[in-house]
Amino acid sequence: MSFNCPYFIDEFTQFVQSLKVKTALEVGYGSGELVEALHQAGIEAEGIDKSTELSNNKQAEYLYNVPWEDFIPTKKYDLVYSSGVIEHYLFSSEMNEFLKKITSFSKKYILTIAPNKNCIAYMNAKAKTTAPWKDELDFTPESLATIHDLAGLTVKQSGAMAAEWPRRFGPEPSEPYLVYCLAAASKATPKTAK
């Protein structure tokens, strides 16, 4: 079963292609669909995840069952990205640690994707669920950019994506389901939280 909407997979792939990267690492690959899409687009993509079953032997060539805390890369990647990970950390210190560690894997960019606090369809579905994701954090493009800024990263852009996805949650008009932040892997001067 696919977790991601096909429209989002296409949108994500086009966004990554626009960055002109040759290598990418997904931290928390889940279903592996995004890594697979980048592979199909000609990007040398790999993924790490601490508890995911691989669906086929081919995936074992580029998907690794290892937590990000223990990952020791053999190279630096042009892009390191995570989709659906940062919202699991409930404290800014945990988010900061996560971002600093994954930044050490990259030579160009960090891309973080998380649920949009302003997606009404998602927030309505979240209010009705008893599933574990009901306790995850949600962001705006600005709040996600602030987390990166506080980790000492230089934010290049932030915004929303996955405009088609809210239809999975309900019929109401809504902002896109996801927000993203693209940051340079080179460190800026770290800031302190106010």
List the beta strands (DSSP E) in the chain: 23-27, 44-49, 63-65, 77-83, 106-115, 153-161, 178-187
| CATH fourth-level superfamily of 6-185 | Vaccinia Virus protein VP39 (3.40.50.150)
pLDDT at 61: 81
Residue-level pLDDT, tens digit, the chain, 194 residues: 345 677 899 999 999 999 999 999 999 998 889 999 999 999 999 999 986 665 555 566 888 889 999 999 999 999 999 999 999 998 889 999 999 999 999 999 999 999 999 998 888 888 888 887 777 899 999 999 999 999 999 999 999 999 888 877 777 788 999 999 999 987 655 555 54
List the beta strands (DSSP E) in 56-129: 63-65, 77-83, 106-115
Q: What contacts 179, CB < 8 A, 6 or more positions away? A: 113, 114, 115, 116, 117, 139, 140, 141, 144, 158, 159, 160, 161
Phi/psi class of residue 8: alpha, beta or left (left: φ > 0; alpha: ψ in -120 to 50)? Answer: alpha
β-pairing verdict for 77-83 and 106-115: parallel
pTM of full prediction above 0.85: yes
| C-alpha angle 157-160-164 in degrees, rounded to nearest 5 | 150
CA distance to 30, 129, 163, 170, 180, per residue, from 135 (Å): 19, 10, 23, 20, 20
pLDDT at 58: 57
